[in-house]
Amino acid sequence: MKFWKKSLVAGLLVSGGLWLGACGNENQAQDQTDGMVLTVSTWNYDTTPEFDKLFRAFEKENPGVTVKPVDIASDDYDTKLTTMLASGDSTDVLTMKNLLSYSNYALRDQLVDLSSHIKDLDTDPAMESYEMYDIDGKTYAQPYRTDFWVLYYNKKLFDEAGLPYPDNLTWEEYEELAKELSKPEEQVYGAYQHTWRSTVQAIAAAQNNKNLVEPDYGFLGEYYDRVLRMQEDQAQMDFGTAKSTNVTYQSQFENSKAAMMYMGSWYMGALLTNIDAGTTDVEWGISQMPQNEKGKEIQTFGSPTAFAINKNSKEQELAQKFLDFCSGEAGAKVLAEVGVVPSYRTDAINELYFSRKGMPNDEVSQTAFNPEKIAIEFPVDENGPAIDKILQEEHELILVGDETPKEAIGNMEKRVKQESE
């Protein structure tokens, strides 16, 4: 699956302009929408630039409409949103942070079925993302952003160490580089690995052609062994410290506390925004995710992000306009301009994306943006939330030293089998 695949169809402005025509002239549109408020669930609104950009652009296209965020802390997002929906919350538009949470809400009949509406839209430039939202032939969300993971690196720290910038590293090379770049006495590490289970499990699954829903997790062993070695060698911050002190990956990288960090492509937009705002002066670049073997196809993982309509929304017609705007060409232009990878991609959108000031354009970066394989982080499955919880719990037990990788992998397989029976 290629993210920079050439589009077969030239982009039509906002789903063929269907909703613009339906609203009539500008005065009619303003009369119909004046004073209307659309609420949208978000996470970390102040540090996630695409939300504000999309909201303001939609308001400009719809005079009289105000889009208001219902903001939730990123780490608590799905837990809080699940609780809100269970209590009958009427937030109009719900942001689907990942496919796992999407399937959870869709299977609970909490989202509006968009299948019939989507058939009339220009979805070809985003077809690969739309296919990921299919649940038994129905679709309950429209993807606006599609992310995949790359390796970020701090140019200054590499220069100070006299080391070449990373390019198509193997995991073995990555580990050795991290040891060379670490200065633990200064709390500067060669690498930072965030606390999410996906930083080990999703990467391992993608690079071994595995599925995290299936209780066969032996392939995780070498990945966890490496993390534990790197913690012991002080080549990266240990998990316990990162978890107990609520360390953010942004602070580690932007304050030059980590020379390398693998993270999703979404971070580029936030990083560029922070550089423009003067809150960081980090000199950065990107490279491919480390691989098991050199010379093989570049394998990473990723996931789209989408907007869905809450079944309890009182403004479903306006919410649909918002979804069409964000997931179409107009929304894609807004996202590309802030350095966020849109799901809707044409040659023109790709060119706009790479023209963003500060975006790395060297050959290695271009390769990193065109991996041969991008696996889904977590497939749609009715047992997904329960499996995710099990995998996260065992992930933490390994990294704090309460279980060996072998013990935890055995427990994962046993518990997931029981959950799926």
Angle between helices 49-61 and 329-337 (to 10 degrees): 140
Q: Within the chain, which residues score under 70 in pLDDT?
A: 1-33
SS3 content of the chain, % helix, strand, coil (to 5): 50, 15, 35
Phi then psi for residue 154, to 5 deg, are -95, 110
| Bridge partners (DSSP) listed for residue 139 | 134
Residue 169 is predicted with a pLDDT of 97
Residue 30 is predicted with a pLDDT of 42
Nearest to 187 by CA among 233, 234, 248, 151: 234
Structure tokens at 322: 């918002």
Residue 29 is predicted with a pLDDT of 41
Residue 369 is predicted with a pLDDT of 83
**DSSP calls for 304-353:** EEEEEEBTT-S-HHHHHHHHHHHHSHHHHHHHHHTT--BSS--HHHHHHH
Structure tokens at 189: 């590490």
What distances in angstroms separate CA 165 from CA 159, 169, 180, 268, one per listed residue?
8, 10, 13, 18
pTM for this one? 0.78
